[in-house]
Structure 1
């Protein structure tokens, strides 16, 4: 039940980000999110007596994970200015497939099985179909403004895929380095603290260090992203990993894009074509197949 709740929380994240992009520029918003959550994680670690600044040989890997984490959220936040929250949810959550590929190549003992290769191919077929849908809509648009808008949407979709790749790369760095043997709080703190510095620094030359309006929606969105998602939900996730096998938990990952699409349609009034619906089904099926061997081992 907790995993279902977490998937719903993560699926709603794209809606929260998109609803605030007009008031708080995307890169600045992402930096604020990471900064607030980093302070909360630091406070939580101090409360529990978990050392965050002891030299344990993880600095290099931690900095790399933080930079990749920042890259992921640059892609997500900028992508959501160009494409819908529902499409972003599907493209971003191709990450498990990229993670499986990366672990196969870079981590010993993580070789993919035949069913996982089928899953990756299925998911990639879904990505290709979704992009074909985007290009078809761009070509069918009437007028140069409509055509440009559709092409912008395709660019947003591509940023979603890049975000998924960055997320997968972060996971691989954590699994393949000394970060795999450090505390969850320290690993999370690396990602949040480094990404906060990178994102806020990047917002300056982009001219995004501003807030158009401080409204209840803006405050609620930032609080949701920083407190509920980046702090509470991640800590619950790490707690679950100490109680249950990761293979059992990872199977639930296909629920997150499902929630993301649902929230985008219901709350933001987004629409999608039959072709995109078919693409989403392929991606979800691919994620399920990639996780199938892990579930079988867990049972």
Structure 2
């Protein structure tokens, strides 16, 4: 019976991680092909996510939860993440962007958790070091490290914001309702993007479709599933599991966007997966 109960968070975790990787691919495809500008992509993404969650809640519960001021902090972190994420992908490739993002996510979640008094066990720490070493190896080739400083800083900020958002989400008792509230309360912050929208605003039908898919499926549904999964994960597990996303995103970039991969990618993937397994199994054994 206990194993059956664990199936829901396991499935939620897998689908959420796939959604995170899809966000990187959809954003890079839309911005790299200049189908839409970063500000418009962010706006369409957050709006479509809010509408999708509203429709799902209406159909499943018959009503929408009331917007609460207590969620303003989470909504701000969602906006910071989504906007910095979009603008960063103007400068970065899919795999490298996801690598910086979730490296920052991992570090921010673990440091905040440690600061709040949740020390890592030796085996967990070893798993984190192993997984992060894999990502460093993936970044090592000089031909892949021609990074824009602007892109790097933007994605770093996005990762820190998402780390805080994930930690707050671990206390959620209503994943669907809280995700809907966060998306709705993030919309007023879009006014801060008006200068970029007025200056560089452009979009095609395909760009809007890609942004809407990112918002409705990869973000709205994906973040809902992530909130469900977070209830069954420790902070260290949540942080390390998200290191799978750069591997998935890099593989997708290779398959769909012709981005180069090599033996370093395969070896780093083994390190990341090994670190994830070590961290999870050490926590379960404890």
- Structure 2 length as normaliser, TM-score? 0.76
Could you say if the C-alpha distance between residues 281 and 196 of structure 1 is closer, same or farther in structure 2, counting changes exceeding 3 Å? farther
Distance apart, 1:118 and its partner CA: 2.7
Contact 2:37 2:200 in 1 (8 A): yes
Distance (Å, rounded) in 1 between the aligned partners of 2:23 and 2:201: 20
Could you say if the C-alpha distance between residues 166 and 286 of structure 1 is closer, same or farther in structure 2, counting changes exceeding 3 Å? farther
1:165 to 154, 160, 166: 160
CA-to-aligned-CA distance 1:100-158 (integer Å, 9 cap, x gap): 3212212x5x332122323444455556556664xx4499xxxxxxxxxx342x54244
2:111 to 101, 118, 122: 101
CA-to-aligned-CA distance 1:171-195 (integer Å, 9 cap, x gap): 22344xxxx2542233212321233
Contact 2:172 2:227 in 1 (8 A): no
Distance apart, 1:66 and its partner CA: 1.3
Could you say if the C-alpha distance between residues 174 and 101 of structure 1 is closer, same or farther in structure 2, counting changes exceeding 3 Å? same
Could you say if the C-alpha distance between residues 196 and 254 of structure 1 is closer, same or farther in structure 2, counting changes exceeding 3 Å? same
Matched, 1:25 2:25: no
What is the SS of the residue equivalent to 2:217?
helix
Match of 1:116 in 2: 124
Report 1:27-66 matches (<5 A): 27-47=39-59, 48-49=61-62, 52-53=65-66, 59-60=69-70, 62-66=71-75
Could you say if the C-alpha distance between residues 165 and 83 of structure 1 is closer, same or farther in structure 2, counting changes exceeding 3 Å? same
1:82 to 68, 91, 106: 91
2:196 to 206, 211, 232: 206
Matched, 1:233 2:209: no
Distance (Å, rounded) in 2 between the aligned partners of 1:287 and 1:155: 30
**Which stretches in structure 1 are left out of the alignment for 5+ residues?**
140-149
Contact 1:31 1:195 in 2 (8 A): no
Contact 2:131 2:243 in 1 (8 A): no
Match of 1:142 in 2: none
Distance (Å, rounded) in 2 between the aligned partners of 1:161 and 1:26: 17
Could you say if the C-alpha distance between residues 167 and 6 of structure 1 is closer, same or farther in structure 2, counting changes exceeding 3 Å? closer
Aligned length: 269
Distance (Å, rounded) in 2 between the aligned partners of 1:31 and 1:131: 30
Distance (Å, rounded) in 2 between the aligned partners of 1:105 and 1:172: 13
- Structure 1 length as normaliser, TM-score? 0.73
Could you say if the C-alpha distance between residues 172 and 188 of structure 1 is closer, same or farther in structure 2, counting changes exceeding 3 Å? same
Contact 1:80 1:156 in 2 (8 A): yes
Contact 2:37 2:203 in 1 (8 A): no
Could you say if the C-alpha distance between residues 257 and 130 of structure 1 is closer, same or farther in structure 2, counting changes exceeding 3 Å? closer
**Which stretches in structure 2 are left out of the alignment for 5+ residues?**
1-9
